[in-house]
């Protein structure tokens, strides 16, 4: 079928696929939602309970008017109480706080002096129309008084008598600090464990001006400190009555010891006392909603707001907005954390109210989905006739006999798919774990500990945590870990092969720069009897994403696979293999690089590996030969000579 014909069909509003789609790694549910939107039956599997919960809420139906009644009742009951912790005094008037600015207090292990760990002494920087007016907001390193600065101003001479070099803080590159008292330099990571986690100090506030309605900034004063202490005392008084996660952060099976290595031992320590109080009050009120659908949608919004209300949120310096936890898929230590207004204001990011509105927008889209088609670079909106909603069935056998939009979602280990009916699936559409790239369960546990006791799960949750140790993920360089991943991926693909119809296909994306990752993928496909019939790059990260640094992978490799690798295999011959790889790498690399997607060296290396995997799945070749070929490619690609591979 011609490419234009395919896209014309895709954009037909009445497109309805009478097929069954399986995603054995459903994660956030992209494959399930998109297949549902096209009218397909879907099967979603994931070992992580949070994945099941998110997808379940995405494709389920809701009566928005009825939901809003429950949501408005929640607002009436607790909004004013939560808001009472987010006010500041400005010229004798109360102003709503948008963000509180905190900073770590570092104890010098050389002289014992404690100091604030600022990278610089600026709150924000913005462009001005003529370049002559104030474009930056700085603060005194001693008293925190705020000062508007032009772009060329480098110093603040404060009324307190101190001079501040605004662009020179006490934190250096590489995680080092320099003590302003004795000038001792050391790494923060080398601080004694007894000194962790580092204490924080409140020093500035962003608020909404009560007279103008504009955003403004002020130094944190004694009244602001007292309001925080009030929240602290209220939390202490209510501690045993609130649904606060008191679990220890698990260490066993982790690939990244943060946040434990930063001194945090329990999950509730990842939040300041005001955040913890307000979040727990909201969660307690949500649990009072009797309609289970409405309650769990509010829980979904609550879980979303957690990422923007903790000690690991920073302030995007040039954009003047909060950057949430996991923006870079890790618990990164933030020297200057920003605390948002948990309930929410007219501006700000990640509040509970904005998360509820986000959920509502998502449900409206699922009820009446649409696409944009671009004609002469101008977007045109096309309404779909099928909602991105499905009837969720508990028995997978009922799904394969059903017609229309039906889904079966399972919290299960995809390494055992023996429960799936044989030859019942038309398409496997998935995104498997990328070897050692992202430990999703370690991140999901941050949310799961809050929701564990408040969601009606499809299976009983006996563990206090996400399945960190059981996830398909390579945690160390040990050969045993590599073998475990290879065997696990082979079992998943074998289960997919058994469930797939003979004429069915499996499509997935993958990328990596490590040879071992591609070795596992090649062997898993071959041992599961899949051959790659098409392989090409597709842009995965946008131009302005968190992962735009030079050297980061921005392109995924799409693999289209069909059963029957053993039946159609050819003998491997180095000469034709090299010519095949060189020609396709040149063609696809040029096509990818012709746009504005920044197809760099790491992406080219990943594509070279992907194309080699594609070729090897169509050949008679031993596991030992596969290792040898990929090792040769790795050495060649390091020197940049892909075309000679």
**What average pLDDT does the segment 451-470 reach?**
91
Instruction: Report if residue 438 sits inside a domain.
Output: no
Q: With 50 as the cut, is the pLDDT of residue 547 above it?
A: no
Instruction: Report if residue 614 sits inside a domain.
Output: no
Domain count, the chain: 1
Instruction: Report if residue 422 sits inside a domain.
Output: no
Helices 49-59 and 440-451, interaxial angle, to 10°? 70
- What do you get for the CA distance between the two ends of the chain, in Å? 33
pLDDT of residue 645: 38
Total Cβ atoms within 10 A of residue 577? 17
**What average pLDDT does the segment 400-424 reach?**
92
pLDDT tens across 49-88, in order? 999 999 999 999 999 999 999 999 999 999 999 999 999 9
Least confident of 29-38, 110-119, 375-384, 564-573: 564-573
Instruction: Report if residue 383 sits inside a domain.
Output: no
Instruction: Report if residue 473 sits inside a domain.
Output: no
Instruction: Report if residue 89 sits inside a domain.
Output: yes
Distance, in Å, from the CA atom of 291 to the CA atom of 289, rounded to the nearest integer, reads 6
Instruction: Report if residue 10 sits inside a domain.
Output: no
pLDDT tens across 144-163, in order? 999 999 988 999 999 999 99
Range of the domain at 304: 69-119+169-360
pLDDT tens across 358-384, in order? 999 999 999 999 888 888 788 888 888
Instruction: Report if residue 433 sits inside a domain.
Output: no
Helices 64-83 and 273-286, interaxial angle, to 10°? 150
Residue 68 Cα distances to 58, 352, 355, 606, angstroms: 17, 15, 14, 47
Distance, in Å, from the CA atom of 552 to the CA atom of 569, rounded to the nearest integer, reads 35
């Amino acid at each position: 079928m011609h490419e234009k014909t395919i896209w014309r069909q895709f954009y037909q509003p009445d497109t309805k696929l009478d097929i069954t789609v399986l995603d054995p790694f459903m994660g956030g549910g992209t494959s399930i939602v998109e297949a549902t939107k096209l009218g397909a039956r879907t099967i979603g599997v994931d070992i992580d309970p949070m994945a099941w919960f998110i997808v379940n809420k995405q494709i389920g139906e809701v009566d928005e008017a009825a939901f809003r009644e429950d949501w408005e009742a929640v607002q009436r009951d607790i909004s004013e109480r939560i808001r009472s912790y987010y006010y500041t005094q400005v010229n004798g008037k109360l102003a709503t706080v948008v963000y509180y600015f905190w900073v770590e207090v570092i104890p010098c292990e050389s002289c014992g002096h404690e100091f604030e760990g600022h990278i610089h002494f600026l709150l924000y920087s913005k462009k001005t129309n003529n370049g002559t007016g104030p474009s930056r907001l700085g603060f005194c390193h001693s008293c925190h008084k705020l000062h508007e600065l032009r772009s060329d101003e480098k110093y603040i001479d404060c009324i307190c008598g101190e001079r501040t070099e605004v662009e020179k803080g006490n934190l250096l590159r590489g995680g080092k600090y320099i003590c302003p008292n004795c000038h001792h330099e050391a790494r923060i990571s080398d601080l004694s464990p007894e000194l962790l986690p580092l204490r924080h100090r409140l020093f500035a506030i962003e608020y909404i001006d009560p007279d103008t309605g504009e955003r403004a900034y002020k130094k944190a004063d004694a009244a602001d400190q007292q309001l925080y202490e009030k929240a602290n005392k209220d939390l202490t008084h209510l501690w045993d009555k609130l649904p606060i996660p008191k679990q220890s952060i698990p260490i066993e099976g982790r690939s990244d010891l943060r946040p434990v290595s930063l001194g945090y031992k329990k999950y509730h320590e990842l939040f300041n006392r005001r955040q913890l109080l307000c979040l727990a009050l909201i969660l307690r009120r949500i649990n009072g909603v009797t309609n289970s659908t409405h309650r769990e949608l509010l829980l979904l919004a609550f879980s979303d707001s957690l990422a923007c209300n903790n000690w690991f949120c920073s302030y995007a310096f040039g954009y003047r907005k909060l950057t949430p936890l996991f923006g870079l898929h890790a618990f990164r230590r933030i020297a200057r954390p920003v605390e948002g207004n948990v309930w929410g204001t007219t501006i700000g990011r990640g509040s509970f109210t904005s998360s509820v509105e986000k959920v509502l927008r998502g449900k409206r889209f699922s009820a009446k989905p649409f696409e944009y088609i671009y004609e002469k670079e101008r977007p045109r909106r096309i309404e779909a006739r099928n909602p991105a909603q499905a009837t969720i069935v508990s028995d997978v056998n009922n799904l394969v006999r059903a017609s229309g939009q039906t889904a079966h979602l399972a919290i299960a280990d995809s390494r055992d798919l023996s429960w799936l009916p044989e030859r019942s699936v038309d398409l496997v559409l998935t995104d498997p774990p990328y070897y050692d790239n992202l430990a999703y369960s370690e991140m999901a546990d941050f949310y799961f500990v809050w929701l564990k006791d408040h969601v009606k799960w499809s299976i009983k949750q006996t563990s206090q945590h996400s399945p960190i140790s059981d996830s398909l993920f390579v945690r160390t360089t040990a050969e045993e870990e590599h073998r475990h991943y290879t065997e696990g991926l082979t079992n998943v693909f074998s289960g997919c092969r058994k469930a797939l119809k003979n004429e069915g296909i499996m499509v997935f994306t993958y990328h990596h720069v490590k040879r071992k990752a591609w070795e596992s993928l090649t062997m898993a496909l071959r041992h599961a009897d899949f051959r790659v019939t098409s392989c090409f790059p597709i842009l995965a990260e946008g131009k302005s994403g968190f992962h735009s640094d030079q050297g980061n992978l921005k392109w995924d490799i799409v693999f289209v696979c069909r059963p029957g690798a053993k039946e159609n295999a050819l003998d491997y011959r180095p000469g034709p293999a090299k010519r095949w790889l060189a020609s396709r790498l040149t063609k696809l690399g040029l096509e990818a690089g012709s746009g504005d997607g920044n197809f760099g060296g790491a992406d080219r290396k990943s594509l070279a590996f992907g194309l080699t995997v594609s070729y090897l799945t169509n050949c008679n070749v031993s596991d030992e030969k596969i290792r040898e070929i990929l090792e040769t490619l790795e050495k060649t690609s390091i020197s940049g000579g892909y075309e000679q591979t």
